[in-house]
Amino acid sequence: MNKTITACFEQFNAKERFHLLNKTSGGGAFKLSEDFKYELELVLNVKIPSEYFFAMDYHLDWVLAALTQFYGQPQENAIHDNNHKLIKGTQEDVDLILVFSVSGKNHIVLFEAKGFTSWSNEQLNKKEKRLGNIFNYIEAHNVNCTNLKQHYILMSPNKPQKLTLAREEQRFGFIKLEMTSGHKYVTRVNERGLSSKKGKQWMVKNR
């Protein structure tokens, strides 16, 4: 029996934090709320079905492997060449991933979030380029891959204004991330209380 695309993604989801949160929340940690689902549907212009795969900190290596499992249908112990160096053996990941199928299309929604720090063109474009290489490879090497649709969603308290994206900026959607107030941070400081990587003291400061 052929696997669904959600099952192919789920089999690689080995993040302990995912399973810990799922356990402690009674299995509800990775279910889309109706409010967020509605908001996301407006951005994607797609109706999200009741069956989907949703996870956090999903490795980019796993994205390639899951797509290969689904579209390539390789044998369980098949050995794949890495001439394109798409498998990095690192823990580079996306903050959240949502995978679902609807109306004959397979949708991969990749989320990146910032709460208190700002977006970096270099960091975002580096990750987007690697994801683009992964999807391009899958599409180029699988003739039955015409139904794959990828989406990128940025989430932060304020919409980024100065991002210069290297590839198809219109593919990035935005959803406002609500943050509670009153957060603080810990920093090393010098004797005058100024932040310093070489500081021998530390302080708690307001964000």
Cα(119)–Cα(133) distance, rounded to whole angstroms? 21
* Listed residue (34, 31, 12, 11) closest to 21, CA to CA: 31
> What does the pLDDT look like over 131-144, one tens digit per residue?
989 998 888 887 67
* Listed residue (99, 81, 74, 89) closest to 137, CA to CA: 81
Q: Worst-scoring range by mean pLDDT, 16-25, 89-98, 158-167?
A: 158-167
Over residues 140-160, mean pLDDT:
86
Q: Mention every residue, 6+ apart, whose C-beta is less than 8 A from residue 174.
A: 43, 153, 154, 155, 159, 160
What's this model's pTM, rounded to 2 decimal places?
Answer: 0.87
Cα(12)–Cα(56) distance, rounded to whole angstroms? 12
Over residues 56-84, mean pLDDT:
86
List, in sequence order, the alpha helices (H) in 104-173. Answer: 121-141
With the C-alpha atoms ordered 109, 62, 128, 121, is the resulting torsion angle positive or negative?
A: positive
| Class of residue 1 by CB neighbours under 10 A (exposed 0-12, middle 13-18, buried 19+) | exposed
Mark 6-32 as b/e (b = at least 16 C-beta within 10 Å): bebbeebbebeebeeeeeeeeeebbeb
* Listed residue (54, 51, 52, 82) closest to 68, CA to CA: 82
| Class of residue 76 by CB neighbours under 10 A (exposed 0-12, middle 13-18, buried 19+) | exposed
> What does the pLDDT look like over 35-44, one tens digit per residue?
999 999 999 9
Over residues 89-111, mean pLDDT:
94
Over residues 74-93, mean pLDDT:
84
The answer to whether 148 and 108 are in contact (CB under 8 A) is: yes
